[in-house]
Amino acid sequence: MVSGKQPIMVLNQDCNSTVNLVRENLNNQGYLVVQSCELHADIAINPNFVNHIVILLVYRHNNSPATLIFAANNTGTSIFLEINPEQSAKSEIINCVQNMKMDYMEDFDFQIPLPVSRN
């Protein structure tokens, strides 16, 4: 989805369910979450192609927003984080999203392990 980027989480569930869980969890942690964009492709030639994208802007206090990108296909939803490197909220947001599975484990059918970076 995002060139050169690894997702911070990949879940085996549809995009809308994933976005709703992440939004609720971030709101409960004191973040302001604004949906910026949503794109659908009704026709998918290949089931592995991304056919649903949602972009959330995540604000904490007076900082510039971090951007969460949800890219989904027929097999699940990948979550990517785009953030200005100067922002200290990056680790907070990653921890909040990744720890969400503990709070809502019964809502997740299956978590796909992330690929190991070879940098």
Task: Express each pLDDT in 70-81 by its tens digit.
Answer: 999 888 999 998
- Kindly calculate the radius of gyration of the chain based on its CA atoms and give it in whole angstroms: 14
What Cα–Cα distance (Å) separates residue 12 from each residue in 33, 54, 87? 23, 16, 30
Task: Express each pLDDT in 74-107 by its tens digit.
Answer: 889 999 988 665 554 556 677 777 676 555 445 4
| Topology at the third CATH level for domain 9-107 | TATA-Binding Protein (3.30.310)
pTM of the model: 0.69
Element (H, E) at 96: helix 89-103
